[in-house]
Amino acid sequence: MNIKKAIVNFLCDYRKICKYISKVEADFYFNKNIYLSVICAEDKYFMKHHGISIKSIIRALIKRHGGASTITMQTVRVISGRYEVSFNRKLREIALAFLIELDNDKISILNSYLKYSYFGTGLVGIESVFDKYFPRSNTMSLMDSIFIASLLKRPAPRDVSIAWAYKLNSRMIHIKKIIETEGSVVHKQIEQYIQ
């Protein structure tokens, strides 16, 4: 691929992602439990970094475990539809995430991530999760929110199995532990950001 074409594709993705983020109403999912659960599950430094977590990248390189992607980088991947496993894609995500954070607020990015993410078979976007699992609920408990956050890493299969339920439960326990140890800090950051 030549450089001119790569730059054009990069700019097209940037405009597309900003357009998708601007479509999402900033307060549509305003539920602190969901925000808390997703941030603790996916990127506990989300409220502090600028699209890239150097600490997570170093940890992933050294320990070869845990993802280096931030919620903003995952939003870039989900909206752009680029899932190829390559060093170039990761560099592209880093650059786009940094630019996206310059032009968009954290809550809009988080809401966009929730609106366009895959939660399982027939479940694209958090609205579909609400429709399937919480159709008449006006409230969302912390455990409900942890369940939703767990689906991001353990999407619901077409045919539910004991093996999947076990993995989902393990993920929920893991997220709950993070919330118990670091949730108050993340909650405070969310509160400060929203005000």
Looking up residue 30, the CATH number of its domain turns out to be 1.10.3810.10
Which carries the bigger pLDDT value, residue 29 or residue 19?
19
Contacts of 129 (CB under 8 A, 6+ apart): 119, 123, 148, 151
- Find tokens 């992607």 and name the residue: 69
* Mean pLDDT across 141-146: 94
Whether residue 73 is predicted with pLDDT greater than 60 in this model: the reply is yes
Sequence-distant (6+) residues with CB within 8 A of 191 are 32
Quick one: what percent of the chain has pLDDT higher than 90? 57
Q: How many domains does the chain have?
A: 1
Domain around 139: 3-194
| pLDDT above 90 for 166 | yes
Which helix (H) or strand (E) is 160 found in, with range? none
The whole-angstrom separation of Cα 189 and Cα 46 is 10
Average pLDDT of 148-160?
Answer: 96
What angle do helix axes 106-116 and 126-133 make, rounded to 10 degrees?
A: 60
Label residue 4 left, alpha or beta by phi (over 0 means left) and psi (-120 to 50 means alpha).
alpha
Say if residues 186 and 36 touch (Cβ distance below 8 Å). yes
Identity of the highest mean pLDDT range in 40-44, 83-87, 102-106, 169-173: 169-173
Q: What is the mean pLDDT of residues 129-156?
A: 91
pLDDT at 70: 92
Average pLDDT for 24-37? 75
Bigger pLDDT: 88 vs 100: 100
Structure tokens at 134: 């919480």
Distances (CA, A) of 6 to 9, 14, 102: 5, 12, 21
Can you give the pLDDT at residue 149?
Answer: 96
Residue 67 has pLDDT above 70, yes or no: no
**DSSP assigned state of 154:** S
Can you tell me the distance from the alpha carbon of 148 to that of 114, in angstroms, rounded to the nearest whole number?
Answer: 10
Look at residue 1 and tell me whether its pLDDT is greater than 70: no
Query: At 148, is the pLDDT very low, low, confident or very high (cuts 50, 70, 90)?
Result: very high
Cα pseudo-dihedral 156, 57, 52, 28, rounded to 10: 20
